[in-house]
Structure 1
Amino acid sequence: MTTVETTGDEGMYLFNDLPLKELKSKYDFEPTERWADELRLSSVRFNSGGSGSFISSDGLVLTNHHVASDTLHKLSSADRNLIDDGFLATSLDEELQAPDLELNQLVSIEDVTSRVAEGIEKNASPAEAAQQRRAVIATIEQESLEKTGLRSDVVTLFGGATYHLYRYKKYTDVRLVWAPETAAAFFGGDADNFEYPRYCMDATIMRVYEDGKPAQLEHFLRWNEAGVDEGDLVFVSGNPGRTQRIFTVAALKYLRDHRMPYVLDYLRRKEILMQQFGLDGVEATRRARDELFGIQNGRKAYTGMLAGLQDPNTIATKQRREDQLIAAIKADPELAGTESVFAEIAEIQTEKAKKLGESVTFRSRLYDLALTTVLRAAEDAKPNEQRLREFTDSGRESLVQDLLSEAPVYADLERVKLADELSRFVETRGGDDALVAKVLAGKSPRQRAAELVDGTELFDVAARKRYLDGDYAAVQSSADPIIQLALLLEDEYRQLRTHSEELDERERQAYAKLTQAVSKLQGNSGYPDATFTLRLAYGQVKTYTEDGEEIQPATDFAGAFEHESSHLGQTDFDLPESWNRHKDALDLSTQLNFVCTADIIGGNSGSPVVNRQGELVGLIFDGNIQSLTSDYLYTDQQARAVSVSGVGILHALRKIYGADALADSIGK
């Protein structure tokens, strides 16, 4: 069931529907069920966004430095800057517990499509269908949780044509073991981001615990110590975020002309805001750094994606495929009228464009806590199947973990962020808007933000716990100003969300019809768009050509030092002092980074790369600039997934960081 004709090594495949025929015909490889199960059970998802893998029997987990940076930031302080300085625990007692990190291991997959479909009345309106779908999904998830004790998520696939129940084992006691300095992990900075060749040690090692002790794992990845060569077949097991390959041309034009320019303007604004905040000093720079990096990374990614959509050839390619599909649908008597979904989807894009930017969700940690507190109390008064999805019983543990996180919240940064959000609110709705007047309460955005931040008690975890234990009446009676603001905006939030969910439901039904038509025409093969759930991609370690130059697939430590020398005076190209101090101990020919043609997207960061034997050979950390069109169109002509080499990680642990004991325990 795919709406695009696959090319090259395209595909983010479900673990319960692997491309066995393609692998056999292209690469003469036949993965066994055991091979696939071992890889699936050795893979994990980070709730902070990203992927990882188990790499030892005693709970070690490998991921990217930039996936772990949220945790590194939360564990840092003015006196301990883990992001810049790195970290190594030399004993279990020194490992640092993450305040609110959750890792998910996919244990099982069950097709629940028929049950979801049975829960939707045939002639239900989009609003009714959305409520009914939410109810049946909540029931399925709750029943599974009660039966198995596992986190249970119903996942929408193929635009709503298929629903699978994913059951996860959760690990919530996660501790930091090793992280390199940012200068090594993000060597080359923003200039090299989404580029290649690269020379980064974008890796971090954590450990999962159970009952206060390192978890004893049956499934983990062994480690290949030979590196990769040109032409090697490799596999990526990770959680790609969101792709839009099922999207029609009208939907892509909405992204090109409305959504992406809007997001880019937002990111540029926030980038300037965070940069200005960081100018207040070293500590301000540290506090803003993690969020600023995420914003800059998003800005560069969206710039590349938009550039791809603005290339006329992209839309022309999609239009050609769409025209062929419409012709095939019209030629099939059993599909008569199905082509009308293209007009329906186009109409939805027009409505989306009209509503773009309408929001009362102010992006600050304190306001997020306040809004969640208000909505949680209101939703808890409803039957489980009628609640907003994030407040159902099946997700309660994760919700509580976030609400009661001990991670620091900085008042000075919150004032700046909330003031900017209030300013955007005024810009969007106009200064004379009645709701704007109520929100500002006669003050400027900056004054109002200071009043809200200085008056709230939500910095205190104990105060959040009291609200969590209380009902909606208790929240309503709160004198906390930021909770009162969330209460003021609750009705508007719910109205906007309801309208958005109705549009989503209409779009879901349209794409489900489209996918069913494609399934009839092309057969039940292919892969669904990414949903931040576990997928398998495959590809080759492969050279490519850019601007007439042949780009070799692998780099080494010697190249890193040469890259530093050729950029003298540019601080983003200064390797850490530890690297230069231990240069003579290194085998400079050791592989550091490499590229392959595997189909990845945001969310795959931290994914293990394995060989035919299922051994870890690399760690996904980026794609090159040509890969940024992969949200909506795959190509392997130049697009490449970029990895840290497994042998490079081991070499750095031993020769630079003096972590022989840690290196010895990997893969065992």
Structure 2
Amino acid sequence: MYLFNELPTATLKSDHGFEPTAQWADDLRLSSVRFNSGGSGSFISSNGLVLTNHHVASDTLHKLSTPERNLIDDGYLATNQTEELKAPDLELNQLVTIENVTDRVNQAVDSGADAKDAAKQRRAVMATIEKESLEKTGLRSDVVTLFGGAQYHLYCYKKYTDVRLVWAPETAAAFFGGDADNFEYPRYNLDATIMRVYEDGKPAQLKNFLRWSSKPLTGGELVFVSGNPGRTQRIFTTAALKYLRDDRIPYVLDFLRRKEILMQQFGLNGTEETRRARDELFGIQNSRKAYTGMLAGLQNPQTMLAKQASETELLAKVKGNSKLSELAGAWDEIAKVQKAKSEMLKQTVSLRSQLYGIAMELVLLAAENQKDNVDRLREYTDAGRDSLLQELTSTAPVYRDLEQVKLADELARLIELRGAEDELVGKVMAGKGPRDRAAELLAGSKLDLVPERQKLIDGGMDAINSSDDTLIGLAKILQEEYRRIREVNEQLQERERQAYAKITRAVNAVEGAGGYPDATFTLRLAFGVVKGYEEDGKTISPTTNFAGAYDHASSHKGQKDFDLPKSWMDAKSEVNLDAQINFVCTADIIGGNSGSPVVNRDGELVGLIFDGNIQSLTSDYLYTDNQARAVSVSGVGIIEALKSIYHANELAAQVGK
């Protein structure tokens, strides 16, 4: 997961005989995009086409669907540009420049400041840098923390906010095999969707986009992945990993299992309820399986033994070096922070309901707007304002029946976490049970109407204070506690940041500088080779084809998740069954890489990342290419499907040109 401004050119040259030029790297970087909904993508034509996963686009597909037009189940194909459907709130980010601002950030923090003051000083200088950059360039500007706090880089993005849906296959093709096949291999999925970015009402004219390889991949080929991995914790100490194992991940899994049952039960009420809950349910199930795999890895004693052994060896070298010994206390500091984080875990007052989330953002926005930019919470600064307002004024549908179920469950969960006798809980519940209180809160709110939200945005604090909207009232009750918890967590993060910066210095001094920082949902370059692996005594081939997809469906006949859509069955005689559909490679990926382009030495697109195998789920904190594999849709498979199954020849002709 290498930074684009610090590529491993020496390693690539020595291990693979390949030396990327600056032009090669720039073309790939500028052809890559980040989805604000979470995920990656790439420009694939000069007239604005964007390729990503179906599951990355599913949020947009869900928001564009209606009871009469189910894009999730039925898919979509725009036969001309007038039929391309505009996403209500999607933002794509193209990384234009990177600047190292480490010295400026560190110089703004007093060396003797406590965690509270240091966090404020750091937040202030980062906000200033971002605002200056926005005013100078007009680009979205984000200061990114790297190496746990040892470096800070300014990333500047061009934003595309007019994004339209062009083509999406049916979920039965995109998620073929369902939850049973998720994180497994072999796979036979067409987890792909094509969108188009517009500027000034017309398809964007792009200089940077990926050409398309017409050749299927073979074992041993070198490939590259350009995407935005979400979060990894490979710098974490043993104490931090134990916190994940014993506290954080079990807490998250309990939450996910609860929400999975909630969404399933809601869907049992009818076909329309199933449609409304489907996108969220998929995300919950996907996360649940991923976290289960992560926890299993951490619960393997060998994982901790290996981490502890390397940590003990490093600490011995640090303590034995007079120039480094002052850094040894960083490990103890990390351990203390983990205990504090464990104590904070159940103090949450965040209620995961769409309308309540909007209410809290409106209340915070009005309050933060009264402060100087440097004193605001990060997402409410001038640099992030446009993206926040786009989110708050989204025309995406809000389903009150689903909101009722979700808010009632969140209120019940709040009681369970904080206790029924908690004073704040008493104020929130107002003498009612969760279901009755949720019904009352939703009945007295109009925040599902965009004009009502806009009035509160425009009216500022006066409008918030005079509002009789019940969800706004709830947010005002919880705001003080929300801010308290956030401030405590920010101080803990600052202590960790300073400690990990010391650990990074120690590692660099003992082992040498280089390598890459943990993932931060910013653009990275990974590389690997197309390669199968051994599992349960069997050799797993690195590639699959369309014939395998039809065979997989036949061998699981009667299981709904293995039913290929009608379009596939009708077109079977027209499909080149030998055409490659999926492949695996050893590239290092994680959540957020979904939708990342896979390219060859020539920078041509050969695939589309959509998953990792089950052995890759420990990659959050430990990566090895022994069995871990990144799973991709083959580029030739996408073209084959467009032409032979979806009869989208005109769209296929635009790809790569």
TM-score normalized with structure 1 length: 0.98
Q: Counterpart of 1:224?
A: 213
* Superimposed CA distance per residue, residues 18-52 of structure 1 (whole angstroms, 9 cap, x where no aligned partner): 00111011101000000000000000000000000
1:96 to 74, 85, 88: 85
2:22 to 30, 33, 38: 33
5 Å-filtered alignment, 1:215-614, equals 215-614=204-603
Q: Is the 8 A contact 2:197 2:204 kept in 1?
A: yes
1:20 to 9, 32, 35: 9
For 2:325 and 2:280, locate their aligned partners in 1 and report how far apart those are by CA, in whole Å. 50
For 1:554 and 1:322, locate their aligned partners in 2 and report how far apart those are by CA, in whole Å. 38
For 2:441 and 2:214, locate their aligned partners in 1 and report how far apart those are by CA, in whole Å. 55
- 2:43 aligned partner, one-letter code: F
Q: Which is further off, 413-422 or 319-328?
A: 319-328
Tell me which stretches of 4 or more aligned residues in structure 1 moved more than 3 Å: none
Q: Is the 8 A contact 2:346 2:418 kept in 1?
A: no
Q: Shift in Å at residue 521 of structure 1?
A: 2.1
For 1:307 and 1:545, locate their aligned partners in 2 and report how far apart those are by CA, in whole Å. 20
Q: Is the 8 A contact 2:455 2:463 kept in 1?
A: no
Q: Does 1:106 align with 2:75?
A: no
1:42 to 14, 31, 34: 31
* Superimposed CA distance per residue, residues 172-220 of structure 1 (whole angstroms, 9 cap, x where no aligned partner): 0000000000000000000000000000000000000000000000000
Q: Counterpart of 1:205?
A: 194
For 2:313 and 2:60, locate their aligned partners in 1 and report how far apart those are by CA, in whole Å. 48
Q: Counterpart of 1:132?
A: 121
* SS state at 1:360 partner: coil
* Superimposed CA distance per residue, residues 632-658 of structure 1 (whole angstroms, 9 cap, x where no aligned partner): 000111110000000000000000001
Q: Shift in Å at residue 473 of structure 1?
A: 2.6
* Superimposed CA distance per residue, residues 61-86 of structure 1 (whole angstroms, 9 cap, x where no aligned partner): 00000000000000001000000000
Count of residue pairs the alignment pairs up: 657
* Superimposed CA distance per residue, residues 430-482 of structure 1 (whole angstroms, 9 cap, x where no aligned partner): 11211111101111100000111121010110010010111213201110000
For 1:600 and 1:126, locate their aligned partners in 2 and report how far apart those are by CA, in whole Å. 33
For 1:328 and 1:614, locate their aligned partners in 2 and report how far apart those are by CA, in whole Å. 42
Give ranges in structure 2 of 5+ residues lacking alignment.
Answer: none
Q: Shift in Å at residue 666 of structure 1?
A: 0.3
* Superimposed CA distance per residue, residues 390-447 of structure 1 (whole angstroms, 9 cap, x where no aligned partner): 0000001000000000000000000000000000001111112111111011111000
* SS state at 1:226 partner: coil
For 1:523 and 1:462, locate their aligned partners in 2 and report how far apart those are by CA, in whole Å. 57
- 2:499 aligned partner, one-letter code: A
* SS state at 1:471 partner: helix
For 2:118 and 2:459, locate their aligned partners in 1 and report how far apart those are by CA, in whole Å. 32
2:59 to 70, 84, 105: 70
For 1:193 and 1:435, locate their aligned partners in 2 and report how far apart those are by CA, in whole Å. 41
Q: Percent identity?
A: 69
Give ranges in structure 1 of 5+ residues lacking alignment.
Answer: 1-11
Q: Shift in Å at residue 337 of structure 1?
A: 2.5
Q: Shift in Å at residue 524 of structure 1?
A: 2.1
Q: Shift in Å at residue 253 of structure 1?
A: 0.4
Q: Shift in Å at residue 523 of structure 1?
A: 2.4
- 1:186 aligned partner, one-letter code: F
Q: Is the 8 A contact 2:40 2:592 kept in 1?
A: yes
Q: Counterpart of 1:620?
A: 609
* Superimposed CA distance per residue, residues 320-352 of structure 1 (whole angstroms, 9 cap, x where no aligned partner): 111111112112211122111111101110111
For 1:615 and 1:321, locate their aligned partners in 2 and report how far apart those are by CA, in whole Å. 39
* SS state at 1:475 partner: helix
Q: Shift in Å at residue 520 of structure 1?
A: 1.9
* SS state at 1:236 partner: strand
* SS state at 2:323 partner: helix
* SS state at 1:334 partner: coil
For 1:103 and 1:278, locate their aligned partners in 2 and report how far apart those are by CA, in whole Å. 31
For 2:251 and 2:258, locate their aligned partners in 1 and report how far apart those are by CA, in whole Å. 11
Q: Shift in Å at residue 612 of structure 1?
A: 0.3
- 1:182 aligned partner, one-letter code: T
- 1:636 aligned partner, one-letter code: D
Q: Shift in Å at residue 501 of structure 1?
A: 0.4
For 2:460 and 2:260, locate their aligned partners in 1 and report how far apart those are by CA, in whole Å. 38
Q: Counterpart of 1:178?
A: 167
Q: Shift in Å at residue 317 of structure 1?
A: 1.1
Q: Shift in Å at residue 310 of structure 1?
A: 0.4
For 2:572 and 2:408, locate their aligned partners in 1 and report how far apart those are by CA, in whole Å. 47
TM-score normalized with structure 2 length: 1.00
For 1:51 and 1:332, locate their aligned partners in 2 and report how far apart those are by CA, in whole Å. 43
Q: Shift in Å at residue 161 of structure 1?
A: 0.5
Q: Counterpart of 2:44?
A: 55
**CA RMSD between the two structures:** 0.6
- 2:485 aligned partner, one-letter code: L
* Superimposed CA distance per residue, residues 219-251 of structure 1 (whole angstroms, 9 cap, x where no aligned partner): 000000111100000000000000000000000
For 2:325 and 2:183, locate their aligned partners in 1 and report how far apart those are by CA, in whole Å. 45
* Superimposed CA distance per residue, residues 511-545 of structure 1 (whole angstroms, 9 cap, x where no aligned partner): 01110121222222100000000000000000100
* SS state at 2:185 partner: coil
For 2:325 and 2:256, locate their aligned partners in 1 and report how far apart those are by CA, in whole Å. 44
Q: Is the 8 A contact 2:53 2:191 kept in 1?
A: yes
